[in-house]
Amino acid sequence: MVKNFFMLSALRLYRRYLKNTLFGEMLRRLNIKYGVIKPFYLEQLTKINLNNSIKSLNVLSSKQSTEHNEDSSAFLGVSSETVEASSSVPGFHYSPPLNFEVSDTLTNRPCINFILPSLLTKHMSGGPNTALLFAIKLTEKGERVRLIACDVPAFGKEAELYPHMDSLIRRPVQRDLIELVDAFDRHEPCVIGVNDLFFATAWWTAQIARYALEKTRYKTFIYLIQDYEPILHNGCTLQARAEETYGLSHIPLINTRLLLDHLIK
């Protein structure tokens, strides 16, 4: 609450006194570049003489890196993905980013993380089943996969998904290579390895995968595209966020030629 108060105060200060000034333009560009301007940093910037703003800004940045190393390092090191992932703006996240935690013990046991809305069998329609078939085929090639639910809690019933997958291929799946994870509770960490890959199965899971890449050595995820999903939303933030996913760094798996031709156009 205190943080929000200071940020709102800073915003009012900018709009009232700085918006159309050279200093204000510099401030705007800093915010775009780094995503967040902390109250302390903003307070110090407002003390700069506007006639020498560029020179003073460089001096201030150098001084802060020495005298306030911890604070300025956190400020300067924030990526746009980190800022977006922590956004609490209503309507921005269709499904909030997952609480991924990297474990050193999994470094030499890489896994392909399939992000699914649910692991409950009652939600396994054509789209999710297609993703499951990809996961099963990968295990038959010796790959380890982790099926992660992001939208619906499994209520301890995730193991029921194994016989469902058996029925999809009419033979037992390799259970030792398939891990089922209920990640609905964002307070509980979902443990991954730094060498893991991510497999998105819907547009909002693509956004989740995008943020998760910050924790792994790979900067591209696999994206199963089965519909042109922006049309599922009215003209709003979610529609724009769905459209944005097609421009993210990903390896596309598109299920029909018609959809492929549309995306190419």
Q: Model confidence over 166-207: pLDDT tens digits?
A: 999 999 999 999 999 999 999 999 999 999 999 999 999 999
Task: Give the pLDDT band (50/70/90) at residue 225.
Answer: very high
Question: Under the phi-then-psi rule, with left for phi > 0, alpha for psi from -120 to 50, and beta for the rest, what region is 75?
Answer: alpha
Q: What is the mean pLDDT of residues 8-18?
A: 63
Cα-Cα-Cα-Cα torsion 140, 145, 150, 153, nearest 10 degrees, comes to 80
Banded pLDDT at 85 (limits 50, 70, 90): confident
What average pLDDT does range 117-124 have in this prediction? Answer: 97
Bridge partners for 137 per DSSP: none
Question: What domains can you pick out in the chain, each with its CATH number?
Answer: 2-78 (no CATH), 100-264 (3.40.50.11090)
Residue 145, pLDDT > 60, answer yes
CA distance 26 to 255: 46
pTM higher than 0.95: no
Coil, helix or strand for 154? coil
CA 148, CA 140: separation in Å to the nearest integer? Answer: 19
Question: Who wins on pLDDT, 134 or 29?
Answer: 134
Measured between alpha carbons, how far is residue 87 from residues 13, 31, 37, 93 in Å? 22, 15, 14, 8
60 or 225: which leads in pLDDT: 225
Please check whether residue 34 is in contact with residue 61, taking contact to mean a CB–CB distance below 8 angstroms. Answer: no
Instruction: Please determine, for residue 240, whether its predicted confidence score (pLDDT) is greater than 60.
Output: yes
Contacts of 82 (CB under 8 A, 6+ apart): 35, 211, 214
Q: What is the pLDDT of residue 181?
A: 98
Least confident range of 71-75, 84-88, 127-131, 231-235: 71-75
pLDDT of residue 138 exceeding 90 = yes
